[in-house]
Structure 1
Amino acid sequence: MSDEEKTPAREVIADYAQAHFRYFRTVDGTVYAQRNGHPVARPIRSQGTTGSHRQELMVGLFNDGVGVFNGTALKEALDLIEALAMSQPVQQVHIRVAPGLDGATWLDLGRNDGQSVRIHPTGWDIVTPDPAEVCWRRTQLTGQLPFPVKDTDGKGIDLLMRLCNFANAETECLAIAWLIGCLGPTVPVPAPFLTGPQGAGKSTGGRMLIRIIEGMSGDLRRAPKDEENLIAAVGAGWVTALDNLSHLTPDLSDAMCCIVTGAENIKRALFTDGDVFRVSYRRPLLMTGIDVGVIRPDLAERLLPLRLERPKVRRTEAELWTEYEEILPVVLGSLLDLTVLVRAAEADIPTDLRMADFAHLCAQLDAATGLGALGAYRASLDDLNDDVIEGDLLAQTVLKYAAGLDPGTEERMTSAEWLHCLTGLYSGEECRPLPKGWPTTGKVLSDRLKRLQPTLAARGVLIDWGRTMSARYIEMARPPGPPLPHEQEPAF
């Protein structure tokens, strides 16, 4: 056969690829390849070490006796395939957890054969999902989970709690509720903050919780120094776990709020002038630490404090993790059984809590088991409000001023007048020096009060803003009712 009659290498590769793989694009324009009948999808431009599509295409061509081709032919073929895939329907790819048809959800076991857990209204099964229903995306953070055990009669939960050092039953039921929430692809869940004295096993407890979802390779990591690296870590896995936090900067606090409830970043595409790509993320988040200092009010509403205590009997790491790995299939099976029960339970949706979806899940857990998770969640939020107030002298000063108001009364002043009033109340007759960070203008005071508004409302002080014909005002009111809860003198 003459050289003119030979089929170009790029056409041979393109024909083989289209016969053995399904190509589609996501909403951000990234083109993925999915082997026929297999649920795992890989971006065709990926050069990652977890197995890129270029690598699996080269291996397939070689194993099937088609040939070995140079990089130029592969690039030209993939360029053509990418262009053709842009006309295909849009489909979403998922990491670890995905929504399915008929009210089902999926849990990726991270296996090479693609077998996954399908959680449906009447139970759960281990099957290979239809690629048209679920497309899994794998990264280096995608660990393999064991096959969960059927019919555990709930003993896996008891085995897990025996290994963790949770301080009380309320903390245990909140941890269970969070794990169930992690199996929901669309429900935002608050971020557990494992705290306690030194030696309470906070890092170990955090690893145990995330490894139920991420497998034995799941681990804690230090908080990245900038938001870009944090978002990259969040996007590569399902549960993000940050270890040994001792201080939360305002930027890190805001980033954590976005991770819990979801956000989207727009970034310029590399090697382009005007192209952009979208980075959307909403992930379960977990943190450990003894104390992170002052907690901002918006983050406090998204936290789930889980207190641990020091164990009376110490065990070696090898002994502990050997036992944990042995019971993990039973723990996962019990969690799936409980998830089915909780999702089938009927309960009213609490409308007074910010994380209403998680509050509803706690109510469903109570209806299914009677654990008292919703009450424990309310109590934890109340404790976090106390932490916010104890760390904010302005909040303490506002509560002191509001304590002098009669129930059912309100008071209006401009922001500048409020600043003068509250500053005088804090300084007192001794002209006490103002602390660092005290508002210096009426605008700064107004912004601080907007952040503190939910925290103050939980203590019976309502803050509102309005305008008259001549000026804007801030209104402080005490609704009719009992005295302010936790009423106390400011700690200054």
Structure 2
Amino acid sequence: MSEDEKTPAREIITDYAQAHFRYFRTVDGTVYAQKNGHPVARPIRSQGTTGSHRQELMVGLFRDGIGVFNGTALKEALDLIEALALSQDVQPTHIRVAPGFDGATWLDLGRDDGQSVRIHPNGWDIRTPDPREVCWRRTQLTGELPLPARDTDGKGIDLLMRLTNFATAQTECLALAWLVGCLEPSVPIPAPFLTGPQGAGKSTAGRMLVRIIEGMSGDLRRAPKGEEDLITAVAAGWVTALDNLSHLSPDLSDAMCCIVTGAEDVKRALFTDGDVVRSRYRRPLLLTGIDVGVIRPDLAERLLPLRLERPRVRKTEAELWAEFEPALPVILGSLLDLTVQVRAAQAETPTDLRMADFAHLCAQLDAATGVGALTAYRASLDDLLDDVIEGDLLAQTALKHAAGLAPGSPDRMTSSEWLHCLTGLYSGDDCRPLPKGWPTTGKVLSDRLKRLQPTLSARGALIDWGRTREGRYIEMTRRPSPPPHQQDPLH
């Protein structure tokens, strides 16, 4: 056969690839490849250590006796495949948890055979999802989960609580609500903050909670140095757990708020001048530490404090994990059973809480089990509110001023007048020096009060902004105290 009659290598590779793989693109234009009948998708341009599509294509060509091809032929074939896939329908990829058809939710077990858990209104089962329903994306952070046990009768929940040192039953039910929330891809959930004295087992309990969702390879990480490092870590996994936090910078605090409720990051694509890369993320977040210092109000509304106590009987790390690892299938099975019960329960959505989806989940958990999760969640928010006020001298001063107002009678001033008033109230007759970070202009004061508005409102000081012919003003009103049988809304 002459050279002109030979089929070019790129065509051989392209024909083989299209016969054995399905190619599609995501909304950001990234092209993925799925082996026929398998739910795991790999970006065709990836050179990742978890196995790239280029590698699996080379292996398939070799094992099926097609041949071994050089890099140029592979590149030309992949360029053509990528161009053809850009005209295909858009389909999203998911890490660990994904929505399915007919109200179902999928949990990726991280197995090579692609078997996953399908949680549906009538229960849960284990099957390999249709690639057109779910496309799993895996990274080095995607660990393997064991096959969950059936008919556990809640034994796994009891096992988990015996292995952890949660201080109260209310804390235990909030931890369960968070775990159930981790299996729901569309519900923003607050970030648990495991706190307690030294030796309370915060890091061990945090690892256990993470490994129920991420497998035994899941672990805690050091706090990142900056926002970009945090976003990179978050994008590569489902649950992000940060250990031993002692301080939260304003930028890191804002980034955590975005992670909990969802945001999008846009940055320039490498080796280009005008192209950009979009990354959308909303992930479960878990934190541990004794104290993180001053908590900003917006982050406080997205935290879930879980207090632990020192155990009466000490166990070694080896003993704890020797108990936890064989119990993980039972724990996961019990969690799946509980998730089905919670989703089937009917409950009203509280309208006075910032994280309304999680509050509704707590109400469903109460309807299914009667554990009192919603009451515990409200109490935890109230404690965090006190922490915010204790750490902010401006909030304390504003509440002190509001306490001197007649209920329902507004006090209206310009921002500069408010700055003079609150500064004088803080300094007092002894001219106490102002603390670092105290507002220096009326504009700075107005911005600080806007951030503190929900916190002050929860303690009865209503702040509002308006404009008259004379100019803009800030108005403070003391809310009348409700009757004893009514509970103040937190937000």
* Pairwise same-fold verdict (TM > 0.5): yes
**Equivalent AA in structure 2 for residue 450 of structure 1:** K
Residue deviations 1:430-468 (CA, integer Å, cap 9, x gap): 011111111110001000000100011110110000000
Does residue 1:340 correspond to 2:340, yes or no?
yes
Residue deviations 1:171-220 (CA, integer Å, cap 9, x gap): 00000000000000000000000000111000000000000000000000
SS at match of 2:80: helix
The answer to which of 294-303 and 316-325 deviates more is: 316-325
Residue deviations 1:242-297 (CA, integer Å, cap 9, x gap): 00000000000000000000000111111111111211100000000000000000
Aligned to 1:16: 16
- Distance, in Å, in 1 between the alignment partners of 2:87 and 2:482 is 64
| Superposition deviation, residue 483 in structure 1 | 10
- Distance, in Å, in 2 between the alignment partners of 1:161 and 1:88 is 48
| Superposition deviation, residue 482 in structure 1 | 4.8
Aligned to 2:370: 370
| Superposition deviation, residue 479 in structure 1 | 2.0
Aligned to 2:58: 58
SS at match of 2:103: coil
Does residue 1:360 correspond to 2:349, yes or no?
no
- Distance, in Å, in 2 between the alignment partners of 1:361 and 1:18 is 44
Does residue 1:398 correspond to 2:371, yes or no?
no
Output aligned runs, 1:430-441, within 5 Å. Answer: 430-441=430-441
Does residue 1:119 correspond to 2:119, yes or no?
yes
Residue deviations 1:221-242 (CA, integer Å, cap 9, x gap): 0111111111110000000000
Aligned to 1:106: 106
SS at match of 2:107: strand
Aligned to 1:28: 28
Aligned to 1:489: none
Aligned to 2:144: 144
| Superposition deviation, residue 480 in structure 1 | 2.1
Residue deviations 1:360-403 (CA, integer Å, cap 9, x gap): 00000000000000000000000000000000001000111111
Aligned to 2:442: 442
SS at match of 1:107: strand
Percent identity between matched residues is 85
4+ long deviations beyond 4 Å: 482-485
Aligned pairs, number: 485
Does residue 1:415 correspond to 2:415, yes or no?
yes
Output aligned runs, 1:106-185, within 5 Å. Answer: 106-185=106-185
Question: Aligned-residue CA RMSD in angstroms?
Answer: 1.1
Aligned to 2:489: none
| Superposition deviation, residue 409 in structure 1 | 1.4
**Equivalent AA in structure 1 for residue 259 of structure 2:** I
Residue deviations 1:307-343 (CA, integer Å, cap 9, x gap): 0001111111111101100100000000000000000
SS at match of 1:24: strand
**Equivalent AA in structure 1 for residue 373 of structure 2:** A
- Distance, in Å, in 1 between the alignment partners of 2:45 and 2:426 is 60
**Equivalent AA in structure 1 for residue 345 of structure 2:** A
Does residue 1:311 correspond to 2:300, yes or no?
no
Does residue 1:275 correspond to 2:275, yes or no?
yes
- Distance, in Å, in 2 between the alignment partners of 1:368 and 1:306 is 22
- Distance, in Å, in 2 between the alignment partners of 1:82 and 1:227 is 32
- Distance, in Å, in 2 between the alignment partners of 1:483 and 1:446 is 32
- Distance, in Å, in 2 between the alignment partners of 1:263 and 1:22 is 30
Output aligned runs, 1:20-99, within 5 Å. Answer: 20-99=20-99
- Distance, in Å, in 2 between the alignment partners of 1:56 and 1:105 is 29
Output aligned runs, 1:280-291, within 5 Å. Answer: 280-291=280-291
Aligned to 1:474: 474
